[in-house]
Amino acid sequence: MSTEKVQPGLVIAGRYRIVKQLGEGGVGAVFLAQHVHTDERLALKVLHNETLSDPSTIERFRTEARAPARIDSDHIVRVTDADVAPEIGGAPFLVMEFLRGRDLAGEAEARVKLHPKEVVLYLRQAARALDKAHAIGIVHRDLKPENIFLTVREDGTPYVKLLDFGIAKITGGAASSMGAHSKTKTGAVFGTPLYMAPEQARAQGQLIGPHTDVWALGLIAARLLLGFDYWQAETISDLVVQIVVDPIPPPSQKGSPFGPAFDAWFLRCCNRDASQRYRTAGEAITDLAAALGVVEGPALALEVTEILQRSQAQEGAAKHTVVGAPMHLAQSDPGPRPVFASTPGPQNPMAVTPMGAAPLSSQAAMGATVLAASTAVPMPSASSTQGSSGSKAPMFAGIAVVVLAIFGAAVFLGARSGGGDSKGSAAPAVEPAPLPLPTATAKAPVTADPPTTVEPVVAATAEPTAEPTAEPEAARPAVSAKPTAPVSTATSVPPKTAPTTTTKKKPNDDDLMSGRR
């Protein structure tokens, strides 16, 4: 296909340098390009080779290039150039303004539901473009959230642009001025099934008109407000039956919280009798605002700006949460990546594409978005992780202080006890009560200095400790001492004990003169 030749760095038609590919569809691919003379960034669309032999595809491509310029609305994507290029085998291409943002399908996938004020503002802007197109004989007939692109102005206020007029029906003066002819013929079906009107599903091209786009507006509003596709069908044939034959249920039967006024509005937009629908898109949105209780005016744009900014801020936190990735990766990741809350176990979602690897379901053929997005599981922040580990530090510090205090007390007692006998050859007759231990054990005979080893104390007790086991008489000198009181707590310093001394006879003058002591 011709798109295979389009690689970064290739210059098309001598003026558009390819930067990267932005997306690909059934009939062509879209690339980010830069004008070699002005440096302006643009979107360049190229048809696949296999579509070049189809005259209807070429005709739709020309319509997509010409219709926006003919309508001339601020809310339709601007096409700046269209031509063929030898660099891509003579395939046609068109150049459009490069929009920053995402379509309403992506917005709804990320947020599930949109605020009623947002829906009114976005569809009001789309309705302005549609009414201008209808007035000159152009019917979009492929309206869906994917073809309404949401972007923001420099001041932050949001606005939408309609995309893809490729299958637009051109009638009346627009057909003659654009050199186009109607591509609709009996038996030909154009549009996306989920948003098709009955006249489209029946392939009644002669009945298609502005009311066809009004039908789609009703389904788009329901999708954005309710958070799901209005038609729930497993196959295309079941879907067509729901559109054409089955009774159309009001939104309240599908869980709508917006009351009977919204039910009546939806059933009028999606009335199978085209004559009973709203005559214009603008009239439909006026009644939608009334049904939802939204007041239109200059203040609405500012309110929607705040709503959108809050939602983007919340979504931004989710974008930077990488399931199963290390903390530093989750914090430093600057680019938006899809987050899969349902992914079991630690898995790096960077290896999972938005389209996934699952086979194409029947919903794809109906035009439903196939992106696999969900609510991010917020990853614990660095501050919470640090807090959980740091909370243990005071406990360890307290234990260390208690152990050091006990050790110091024991050393102090040993020094005091050893100082009573200058020769240090015997221990005191009665030792201080030992620190409380979990179980009472017999103490080994003391033959040298008192031991200084201290075991950690589990809990302090106020009861007196057990008396030490009496030592053998042969192992201790004959001394007299007063017993000391038991220590009441393990952490307090024991009271000072008077050193025990042996009674000695005071030498007289004769002993001193003879040298005896």
- Pick from 373, 369, 336: which is nearest to 354 by CA? 373
Q: Contact at 8 Å (CB) between 450 and 418?
A: yes
How many C-beta atoms lie closer than 10 Å to residue 499's C-beta? 13
Catalytic residue among 142, 164, 213, 229: 142
Distance CA 186, CA 397 (A): 86
104-111 and 210-226 helices, crossing angle to 10°: 20
Helical (H) or strand (E) element with 17: strand 16-24
Amino acid identity at 123: L
Q: Contact at 8 Å (CB) between 189 and 204?
A: no
Residue 130, exposed/middle/buried by CB under 10 A (0-12, 13-18, 19+)? Answer: buried
Per DSSP, helices labelled H in 231-377 are 236-244, 259-269, 281-292, 298-319, 327-332, 362-366
Per the annotation, the verdict on 142 as an active-site residue is yes
Tokens of 321: 């949460």
Q: What are phi and psi of 354, to 5 degrees?
A: -55, -35
Distance CA 280, CA 8 (A): 44
DSSP codes joined into one string, 143-185:
--GGGEEEEE-TTS-EEEEE---TT-EE-HHHHHHTT------
Q: Contact at 8 Å (CB) between 47 and 28?
A: yes
Distance CA 407, CA 423 (A): 25
Distance CA 311, CA 303 (A): 13
Distance CA 269, CA 247 (A): 15
Distance CA 219, CA 379 (A): 36
> Would residue 12 be called left, alpha or beta, if left means φ above 0 and alpha means ψ between -120 and 50 degrees?
beta
Q: Contact at 8 Å (CB) between 218 and 239?
A: no
The position carrying tokens 């176990």 is 345
- Pick from 120, 63, 62: which is nearest to 307 by CA? 120
Helix, strand or coil for residue 103? strand
> Which amino acids are annotated catalytic?
142
